[in-house]
Chains A and B, each alone.
Chain A
Amino acid sequence: MRIHVDMNRCESHGQCVFAAPDHFSFDEDDVLLVQADVPDDEAVRAAVREAATACPVQAITLQQDGEAA
């Protein structure tokens, strides 16, 4: 699984950081940083899916393994 974030939509709400802090974080200026490659671990993937669901501006899309970008 791979994470894509549309940075034109991102408004730094932080919901993804709350849900999956291993994959989403902020720099000093509140710009979102993304660890895009999600390991094959169901707990981590569930957290990342929750992050995508929680995004208030639907900026996060998840690309499944084997799916074209």
Chain B
Amino acid sequence: MSTRHIVVVGASLGGTRTAQALRERGFDGRLTLVGDEPHLPYDRPPLSKQLLAGTWEHEEIALPLAPDPCLELRTGNPVTAVRLADRALELADGSSLSWDSLVIATGAGARPWPGPVPAGVLTLRTLDDARALRDALRAPDARLLVVGAGFLGAEAAATAAAAGVPVTLVEAEARPLARNVGTAAGEFLARLHREAGIDLRTGTTVRSFTGTTRVTGADLDDGTHVPATVVLLALGAVPRTEWLHGSGLRLDGAVVCDEHGRARTDDGAVAEGVVAVGDAARWPNPLTGDTLHLGHWSNAVEQAAVAARTLLHPAEAGELPEPPLSVPSFWSDQHGVRIRSLGLPHLADEVRVVEYDLPGRRLEVAYHRDGELVGALTANRVRRLADYRPRLAETLRRRRTAAVAAAAAAAAG
């Protein structure tokens, strides 16, 4: 049995999947999984849907962890400090942990409101957050204001509206997600919200919240007032890397990694034995030509597999093998419509609407840049989405080969 100790910080999707992948690849040493929440590991996408609706509880969203006598799970115990040179961590309960390899999988947190807010202004990122919002929505006079019509805000708004709660959804852009998926898909989503009875206000933002002890609503910058008993801030996510400030690792919001998941240090070197995955990490992406922070479920799963391989790669075996090509994908379920996407639609300079059928609840959009396919999005048309994948993989492969050749030419001077 290996005497090596691998510590995984973050006991959510990226952390548990990395632990699982390490075991599947034959690692039989000691594993410690550290999580800041008191709960056993769980999956987050249902929080804004089934959890909020009250149809599921923790049990239904538990992330599987195989019985493992050499795995220690330390929940409710945030990391307070890290010392890379000593390969040691300090935990909130006063204990410390030393590691041979470290996996950073602390994910992302909800972007906070810039300033103090009254009670009843909530965010949604954890199981406890989802329970608190669900309880607030069950009050007989509940009125919900959602700030931000991104995927999380839109899903929560849709869930609340389906439960009969009056919902106002405020979005700064002219259409929801227009910067991410273009105006056609943005308009499609806007119409879904309005048909469901949601009061969607676009092109405006919240200036301030009203209510002293508890929120009573918000004043918008268009001069109107929106009454609300509860507010959900859905302003995006920020990588939870504050515990790594001053550690010597290079941070650009998230931990900057190479294509094998190895963290970089401030001086650009590889941090020996340290990998980062999921929402806390930035990995190179051939479509952007730079490192990219992707808050997607599939991204964490794929990176966990690559990072486990990286950690277990024997030094004597030489260079790490080229990682598998990863085609980004994300999804969102709103108003019973299955929105599925591949690639990076936000990079597009040309959007081709193949099908726009609002009554039929169907949408198909292809995204191109410089004439090349960079993304696709469908609503209730996942069969057609699948047809785009080989072409997207081909684009990615071509870009990666070109980037490798360019790097080699630059190195040769």
Contact: A54 with B383, CB < 8 Å?
no
CB distance from B305 to the nearest CB of A (A): 7
* Interface mask (A5-31 → B, CB under 8 Å = 1, otherwise 0): 000000111110110010001111010
Name the one of A11, A17, A30, A53 contacting B381, with C-beta atoms under 8 angstroms: A30
Contact: A54 with B381, CB < 8 Å?
no
- Nearest to B390 among chain A residues (CB) is A21
> How distant is the Cα of A14 from the Cα of B387 in the complex, in angstroms?
11
Q: Which residues of B contact A53 (CB under 8 A)?
A: 301, 305
The A interface, classified by DSSP as helix, strand, loop or mixed, is loop
> How distant is the Cα of A52 from the Cα of B45 in the complex, in angstroms?
18
> How distant is the Cα of A13 from the Cα of B349 in the complex, in angstroms?
27
Contact: A18 with B389, CB < 8 Å?
yes
Q: Which residues of A contact B301 (CB under 8 A)?
A: 53-54
Name the one of A14, A21, A58 contacting B382, with C-beta atoms under 8 angstroms: A14
Interface size counted on chain B using CB atoms at 8 A: 22
Contact: B338 with A12, CB < 8 Å?
yes
Contact: B64 with A58, CB < 8 Å?
yes
Indicate if B385 sits at the interface (CB-CB under 8 A): yes
Indicate if B380 sits at the interface (CB-CB under 8 A): yes
> How distant is the Cα of A20 from the Cα of B298 in the complex, in angstroms?
15
Contact: B380 with A18, CB < 8 Å?
no
Indicate if B340 sits at the interface (CB-CB under 8 A): yes
- Nearest to A15 among chain B residues (CB) is B298
Residue among B43, B64, B329, B342 with max Cβ neighbours from chain A (10 Å):
B329
> How distant is the Cα of A50 from the Cα of B386 in the complex, in angstroms?
16
CB distance from B207 to the nearest CB of A (A): 38
Name the one of A13, A15, A25, A30 contacting B380, with C-beta atoms under 8 angstroms: A30
Q: Which residues of A contact B188 (CB under 8 A)?
A: none
Q: Which residues of A contact B380 (CB under 8 A)?
A: 30
* Interface mask (B279-300 → A, CB under 8 Å = 1, otherwise 0): 0000000000000000001100
> How distant is the Cα of A53 from the Cα of B64 in the complex, in angstroms?
12
Indicate if B364 sits at the interface (CB-CB under 8 A): no
CB distance from B106 to the nearest CB of A (A): 21
Contact: A56 with B297, CB < 8 Å?
yes
Name the one of A11, A21, A25 contacting B333, with C-beta atoms under 8 angstroms: A11
Interface size counted on chain A using CB atoms at 8 A: 17
Q: Which residues of B contact A14 (CB under 8 A)?
A: 329, 340, 382, 385-386
Which chain B residues in 7-32 approach chain A with CB under 8 Å? none
> How distant is the Cα of A12 from the Cα of B385 in the complex, in angstroms?
11
CB distance from B379 to the nearest CB of A (A): 10
> How distant is the Cα of A35 from the Cα of B408 in the complex, in angstroms?
43
> How distant is the Cα of A15 from the Cα of B389 in the complex, in angstroms?
11
Q: Which residues of B contact A15 (CB under 8 A)?
A: 298, 329
Contact: A56 with B340, CB < 8 Å?
no
* Contact A21-B386, Cβ < 8 Å, known A11-B333, A13-B331: yes
Q: Which residues of B contact A17 (CB under 8 A)?
A: 382, 386
Contact: B331 with A30, CB < 8 Å?
no
CB distance from B334 to the nearest CB of A (A): 13
- Nearest to B388 among chain A residues (CB) is A18
Which chain B residues in 337-383 approach chain A with CB under 8 Å? 338, 340, 342, 380-383
Indicate if B255 sits at the interface (CB-CB under 8 A): no
CB distance from B131 to the nearest CB of A (A): 21
Contact: A30 with B329, CB < 8 Å?
no
> How distant is the Cα of A27 from the Cα of B384 in the complex, in angstroms?
10
Indicate if B254 sits at the interface (CB-CB under 8 A): no
CB distance from A51 to the nearest CB of B (A): 12
Contact: B338 with A11, CB < 8 Å?
yes
CB distance from B113 to the nearest CB of A (A): 30
Which residues on B are within 8 Å of A, measured CB to CB?
43, 45, 64, 297-298, 301-302, 305, 327, 329, 331, 333, 338, 340, 342, 380-383, 385-386, 389
Query: Could you show 24 A-B contacts with beta carbons less than 8 Å apart?
Result: A11-B333, A11-B338, A12-B382, A13-B331, A13-B340, A14-B385, A15-B329, A18-B327, A18-B329, A18-B386, A25-B383, A25-B386, A26-B382, A27-B383, A30-B338, A30-B380, A30-B382, A30-B383, A53-B305, A54-B298, A54-B301, A56-B43, A56-B297, A58-B64
| 18 new A-B contacts at CB < 8 Å, known A17-B382, A18-B342, A56-B45 | A12-B382, A13-B331, A14-B340, A17-B386, A18-B327, A25-B386, A26-B386, A27-B383, A28-B383, A30-B382, A30-B383, A53-B301, A54-B301, A54-B302, A56-B297, A56-B298, A56-B331, A58-B64
